Amino acid sequence: MQTRTVEFAVGLFVLAGLLALAMLALKVGNMPMFGSGQYYSVTASFGNVGSLKEKAPVMLAGVRIGQVGHIGLNQQTFEAVVRLDISKKYDNLPVDTSASILTQGLLGEQFVSLDPGGSQRYLKNGDKIRVTQSAIMLDKIISQLLYSKAGH
């Protein structure tokens, strides 16, 4: 009777707590859906990655399809080499797909955006994306703008 009410209330409380945790994990956070083996990796070289960070999203047409796995430096070409981990679900990206680093909003985080090409052959694990566009450095653009104005 009385003990049962207590037990029931405690059961509800624990359930509510776990539910809240589940909500935080699934709805609020991004559960790591790209576990090992669930993705394939391609690399892309950029002249400048700006403030791109590991685990930043990889988007295609605004849809998140993967994340940045690793950012390294090629010591021959002095280019940044970015490994993109793309979900196995999207295994039909054409080989002539191009990658560019864009910014979410004016001051938002940077992410990698892919633009699919028209080839019939698809990117495989270990392939390299050839066409890339580096991050736009806002301060560089502004200073160029100022210099060109001054040149007039």
Partner 1 sequence: MDQGRGIVGHVRRLGRQTLDGVARLGRAMLFLLRLTPGLPVLFTRFSLVIQQIYVSGVLTLIIVLVSGAFVGMILALQGYNTLVRYDAQSSLGLLVALSLVRELGPVLTALLFAGRAGSAMTAEIGLMKATEQLAGMEMMAVDPLKRVVMPRFLAGWVSVPLLAAIFSAVGILAAYVVAVSDLGLDGGVFWSQMQSGVSVTNDIMGGVVKSVVFGLVISWIAVFEGYDARPTSEGVSLATTRTVVSSSLAVLGLDFIMTAFMLRGL
List of residues contacting partner 1 (CB under 8 A)? 3, 6-7, 9-10, 12-14, 16-21, 23-25, 27-32, 55, 57, 64, 105-109
**150 bridge partner residues:** none
Indicate the residue among 30 and 144 with the shorter CB distance to partner 1. Answer: 30
For residue 76, CA distances in Å to 80, 81, 85, 131 come to: 11, 11, 24, 19
- Output the smallest distance, CB 18 to partner 1, in A: 7
Q: Give the nearer residue to partner 1 in terms of CB position, either 107 or 150.
A: 107
Residue with smaller CB distance to partner 1, 52 or 123: 52
57 versus 94: smaller Cβ distance to partner 1: 57
Quote the least distance from Cβ 132 to partner 1, whole Å. 22
| Stated length of the chain | 152
Instruction: Name the DSSP class of 25.
Output: I
The nearest distance, CB 88 to partner 1, in angstroms, is 20
Contact 77, 64 (CB under 8 A): no
Minimal distance, residue 136 CB to partner 1, in Å: 18
For the chain, first and last CA: distance in Å? 90
Q: What is the Cα 140 distance to its own chain's centre?
A: 24
Query: Which residue shows structure tokens 């864009």?
Result: 102
